[in-house]
Amino acid sequence: MVNTGTIIYEPGSSAKNKTGSWRVFKPVLDQDKCVKCENCYIFCPEGCIQEKDGKFEIDYDYCKGCLICEKECPVKAIKAEREEK
Amino acid sequence: MCEVKVITGTSAAAEAAKLADVDVIAAYPITPQTTCVEKLADFVANGELNAEYIKVESEHSAMSASIGASAAGARAFTATSSQGLALMHEVLFAAAGMRVPVVMMNANRALSAPINIWNDQQDSLSQRDTGWIQLYAEDNQEVLDLVIQAFKIAEDEKVLLPVMVNLDGFILTHTVEPVTLPKQENVLDFIGTYEPKHAYLDPKKPMTQGALGDPNYYMETRYAIETAMENAKKVIADVHDAFAEKFNRAYGNGLIESYNLEKAENVIVAMGSICGTIKDMIDLKKKEGVEIGLLKIRCYRPLPIEMIKDALKNAKNVAILDKSISLGMNKGAIYADVASHLKDKKTVNYIVGLGGRDITPEDILGIYDDVEISEDGKTNWIGLKEE
């Protein structure tokens, strides 16, 4: 399972480790309230928020639930919800 | 064909590193290790040794640079002592976890406060859980032989762990003894060249070493080190036997050395240079018809506990000498490790020689007398001045 010396031979393989399971609270974006200011996209420290077809989407495979996006959203379009396990 | 030189323990370690043709030496001076890295600096400056000598700003950096060098495929060597080893503590775990076969000489010395440059074994014993193989020398010849063997042990594919060769500060580091130096071609023939298969930093084939290991991976890395430690027991014995065959010098079975254990009921378990004094006392008593014995631990990590139990099978009273103390338990680490496996024998712990306090031949004979009458599980501090 682990290489000797925990060596990683393949560049970019960290994408295989989905870190979304670390989350306790989940940011949920209300698309109707969103004014597309890009603040959440700019402030996300993990690069989990991407623009797709004029809408912003959160990638829950990697979002660790820091909720910086919720704090930064000027129109309160992002709400924290407890993660259902 | 061999050369005999009258040299100190640190010189013996430096000569061994030279004989092993190390590629990188990263070092910071600290008493009583300094003369080792000075000697290596001379070798490099004089062109006797073709190696990269990295002068670093601390022991933390010395170990970090050694890990980097080893990861890049170089045979790396460093040396330290006491506070320097303590400063390396954090990086010692990285060396073991990254499975880099660095070899390090450690001059055993007490830890502050108060500042004390003299010998005990608190520094290396405090590093017992870092994943380093720990070997202990009795005399300067054994220092040279252990450093040579250390490279072969560390670089074995079944092991791939860093090795620390310990010698008692001043008692060995600054005492001159005749040491037989083998020919370099024979040493290199014995240890071979280091060709890393698991880790070799190469820009054309990028890899990451020491990256984040989340809870899904970390436990397996610790188990892998434990497995390598278990493998090391056989490798250490095999390397010792091959060395004995080639260079005609043997030390017990490589992991432990028994001295007059067959008939003796009163036995001392000890590590390092003190074993020389104990052997002399055993010989002295033998002439008087009294049989006392010694079990010398040469390899403290991995601890060959089954061999120790077997070697002590005829013993009744076991005195375990510790040149260190686990404060708050009033026991030394060797006692804690060994006595817990000797339930059917009387074991007594003797705390000796802390911070360079002399251990005299009379002290040793006193311990043999005391272990017979002392109560099981007791701890006695030898030579303590009490008010």
Query: ipTM greater than 0.85, yes or no?
Result: no
Contact with chain A for residue B361, Cβ under 8 A: no
pLDDT at residue B184, as a whole number = 97
- The CATH code of the domain that includes B44 is 3.40.50.970
Q: Which residues of B touch A62 (CB under 8 A)?
A: none
> Does residue B166 lie in a domain region?
yes
* pLDDT at residue B1, as a whole number: 62
Domain count, chain B: 2
Mean pLDDT, all residues of chain B: 97
Largest CA distance in chain A: 51
- Residue A2 has its nearest CB partner, among B100, B199, B217, at B217
pLDDT at A13: 80
| pLDDT of res. B244 | 98
Interface of B with A in 177-206 (CB under 8 A): 198-199, 205-206
Q: Give me the long-range contacts of A35-38 (CB less than 8 A, separation at least 24).
A: A35/A74, A35/A75, A35/A77, A37/A74, A37/A75
Query: Is B386 domain-assigned?
Result: no
Q: Using the beta-carbon criterion (under 8 Å), do A6 and B160 form an inter-chain contact? A: no
Q: Among B345, B338, B340, B348, which Cα is nearest to B368's? A: B348
8 Å CB contact between B186 and B246: yes
Give the per-residue pLDDT at B370: 98
pLDDT digits (tens, 9 = 90+) for A22-63: 899 999 999 999 999 999 999 999 999 999 999 999 999 999
Decide if pLDDT at A85 tops 80.
Answer: no
A5 → closest Cβ in B98, B206, B216:
B98
Question: Within a domain: residue A64?
Answer: yes
pLDDT at residue number A30: 97
Does residue B143 sit in the same domain as residue B57? yes
B187, B326: one domain? no
Tell me which residue range forms the domain holding B272.
256-381
| Residue A37 belongs to a domain | yes
Residues B89 and B199 in one domain: yes
Q: What is the mean pLDDT of the segment spanning B315-319?
A: 98
Say what the pLDDT of residue A11 is. Answer: 78
Q: Give the Cα separation of B7 and B272 in Å (integer).
A: 18
Asked whether residue B112 falls in the same domain as residue B21, the answer is yes
Q: Residues B352-371: what's their mean pLDDT?
A: 97
pLDDT of B387 strictly over 80: no
Residues B232 and B343 in one domain: no
User: Which residues of A, range 14-73, sit inside 8 Å of B by Cβ?
Assistant: 14, 17, 19
**Average pLDDT in the B365-380 region?**
98
User: B223 and B269 share a domain?
Assistant: no
Q: Are residues B242 and B266 in the same domain?
A: no
List pLDDT tens digits, range B99-122.
999 999 999 999 999 999 999 999
- Contact of A5 with chain B, judged by CB distance below 8 Å, is answered with yes
pLDDT at B19: 98
Residue A24: give its domain's CATH number: 3.30.70.20
Is the domain of B59 the same as that of B165?
yes
pTM of the model: 0.92
Whether residue B61 is contained in a domain is answered as: yes
Proportion of chain B above pLDDT 70, given as a percent: 100
Q: Average pLDDT in the B323-337 region?
A: 98
Query: Is B339 within 8 Å of B347 (Cβ atoms)?
Result: yes
Domain edge (last residue) among B247, B264, B299: B247
Domains identified in chain A, total number = 1
Phi, psi at residue B231, to the nearest 5°?
-60, -35
**B364 in any annotated domain:** yes
List, for residues B67-98, the tens digit of each pLDDT value: 999 999 999 999 999 999 999 999 999 999 99
Whether residue B387 is contained in a domain is answered as: no
Residue A5, domain member (yes or no):
no
In a domain, A8, yes or no: no
In a domain, A12, yes or no: no
pLDDT band with cut points at 50, 70 and 90 for residue B291 = very high
Q: Do B232 and B347 lie in a common domain?
A: no
Do residue B327 and residue B234 come from a single domain? no
Residue B11: strand pairing partners? none
Residue A25 included in any domain: yes
Is the same domain home to B278 and B320? yes
Min Cα distance B77 → chain A (Å) is 19
* Domain annotation covers residue A7: no
Q: Nearest by CB to B217, which of A4, A6, A11?
A: A6
Does the pLDDT of residue A1 top 80, yes or no? no
In a domain, B344, yes or no: yes
B293: CATH? 3.40.50.920
Domain range for A50? 19-82
| Residues facing B349 on adjacent strands | B320, B379
Of the candidates B98, B206, B213, the beta carbon closest to that of A11 is on B206
